[in-house]
Structure 1
Amino acid sequence: MTIDLEVYPYLAFLNYWLNKEDKYSLQGPFISGFYTELKSYLKKELQQQDPFVRERAILSTERGQIQVVDYGAGSKKLKEKKRITAQIYKYSTTKRKFSTIYSFLIAQTPAEHVIELGTCLGINTLYLSQETKGKLYSFEGSPSLVEKARSLHQSPQIEYMEGEISDTLPFHLQAKGKVDFVLIDATHTKEATLRYFQIILPYLHEKSIVAIADIYWSREMTTAWKEILRTTEVSLSLDFYECGVLFFRKGITKSHHVLSV
């Protein structure tokens, strides 16, 4: 790992902290109401027991090895192709707060067609499925990770799409059409992140929401995020440091907000 890749997220967090806004600075009824509702939802949900505490406990203690196929930037901590499940969980799984945020975001959409890019061990998939009314399609390039996610939880609501995302995603969208919510949490390179967004963009609608995880994972991920923000169709964007959120609503002035959660 280069020094820059290791240090950059800390420098980015300092910049995020210096620029973040409070709720009183938010102008417009939509963003003000959305942020208030999100904070209230998080407070209520995080006071209760994690609905997937059992699955997290299983993965956090499992010592079996998984052969991982990486198509992108890989892991900062785990370089071997064979990785211990508990270590994958420790270094590559979303913390409960942001899994809960993704669940909340889905609930703000029609939630009929939901896409997750990057299944990993399947923890986020469980949270996303909570608010999905139709079908959740989880895309993953590593067959062994798909197998692990399937073993963790079986549901007719969830369909795992195995294979390189750049190949499987276009065919899926051509067949299924408009998308309500997308979580991009795969590959972690500028090129791939921009490519995934461009593939998805024609299938988004006014009530769609896109979340991009790890926007400060590296300088190139931040560059990808900033390029996406300039997209004409994006009307509102939120920076939560751990992820960025995009809206495509008509009738609101284009704006960007750096917020804490």
Structure 2
Amino acid sequence: RDKAQIQITDFGAGSLVSKSNTRRVCEMYASASVSEKQGEFLHRLVCYFKPKTILELGTHLGLSSTYMAFASEAEIVTLEGCPSTAKVALQNHKELDVENVKLEVGNFLDSLPKVLDKIRVVDMAYIDGNHSYEGTMWNYEQILPNTEEHSVLMFDDINWSPNMKKAWDEIISKPEISLSINCYKFGLVFFRKGIEKQHFHFKF
């Protein structure tokens, strides 16, 4: 267990677990890092859809990007707002020999448009950063022009707060979304054409 403390830079809605701007790394693993079950789901999702380009918003400690990296040789670009957290993620990637993940550090308002300028198509996106209504909607609207019919977007923590639920409900109501799957903790949206709009609920 890593008991080291790191300084947290948070551009989003903060944490429900701790209001302090310093946190122990071991506590971050326990409270906010992707679970083994969800990590395996991410891994299988990548194996099934075989995306060539994956975008992640919210690297955290680098575990979710590692699960995805081990499923494919796809180019994975992951964005993290907190430099201290990104440093831990980079160390984890190094120790686990993850080579197909590029980590960008900085406020999404600055880093996301720059990354999207370089990525023509986002085949898959895992959105787990800035858990505010405004931030979630902004992230979606930024990514949308880079999606195509085959693209898949996964939003984490869609029931984390009333504002996250509001953002999720608004996104799945948009005309470009033809299919959504609500797994309670996270949700998937699809842009398939030629099908009747459908919404599914599964308890993950």
Distance between the aligned counterparts of 1:132 and 1:141, measured in 2?
Answer: 25
Distance between the aligned counterparts of 1:169 and 1:80, measured in 2?
Answer: 26
Runs of 4+ in 1 over 6 A off after TM superposition: none
Identity within the alignment, %: 33
- Match status 1:165 vs 2:108: yes
Amino acid at match of 2:102: E
Q: Give SS of 1:76's match.
A: coil
Q: 1:80 aligns with which of 7, 16, 20?
A: 20
Amino acid at match of 2:62: G
Note the residue ranges of structure 1 that are not aligned, 5 or more in a row.
1-60
Match of 1:241 in 2: 184
Distance between the aligned counterparts of 2:127 and 2:88, measured in 1?
Answer: 20
Match of 1:151 in 2: 91
Match of 2:203 in 1: 260
Q: How many aligned positions are there?
A: 201
Match of 2:118 in 1: 175
Distance between the aligned counterparts of 1:180 and 1:107, measured in 2?
Answer: 13
Match of 1:71 in 2: 11
CA contact (8 A) 1:105 1:209 kept: no
Match of 2:129 in 1: 186
Distance between the aligned counterparts of 1:133 and 1:206, measured in 2?
Answer: 22
CA contact (8 A) 2:182 2:200 kept: yes
Deviation of 1:175 (Å): 1.5
Match of 1:25 in 2: none
Match of 1:100 in 2: 40
Comparing 157-166 and 100-109, the one that deviates more = 100-109
Deviation of 1:173 (Å): 0.9
Larger Rg: 1
Distance between the aligned counterparts of 1:133 and 1:64, measured in 2?
Answer: 32
- TM-score normalised by structure 2 residue count: 0.95
Amino acid at match of 1:176: I
Deviation of 1:241 (Å): 0.4
Render the CA deviation track for 1:71-106: whole Å, top value 9, x for unaligned. Answer: 011111111111100111111112111111122222
Q: Give SS of 2:44's match.
A: helix
Q: 1:129 aligns with which of 66, 69, 80?
A: 69
Distance between the aligned counterparts of 1:135 and 1:178, measured in 2?
Answer: 12
Q: Give SS of 1:215's match.
A: coil
Distance between the aligned counterparts of 1:208 and 1:110, measured in 2?
Answer: 11
- TM-score normalised by structure 1 residue count: 0.75
Match of 1:120 in 2: 60
TM-align CA RMSD: 1.1
Match of 1:221 in 2: 164
Match of 1:29 in 2: none
Q: Give SS of 1:105's match.
A: helix
Q: Give SS of 1:244's match.
A: strand
CA contact (8 A) 1:102 1:211 kept: no
Match of 2:145 in 1: 202
Note the residue ranges of structure 2 that are not aligned, 5 or more in a row.
none
Distance between the aligned counterparts of 1:213 and 1:130, measured in 2?
Answer: 20
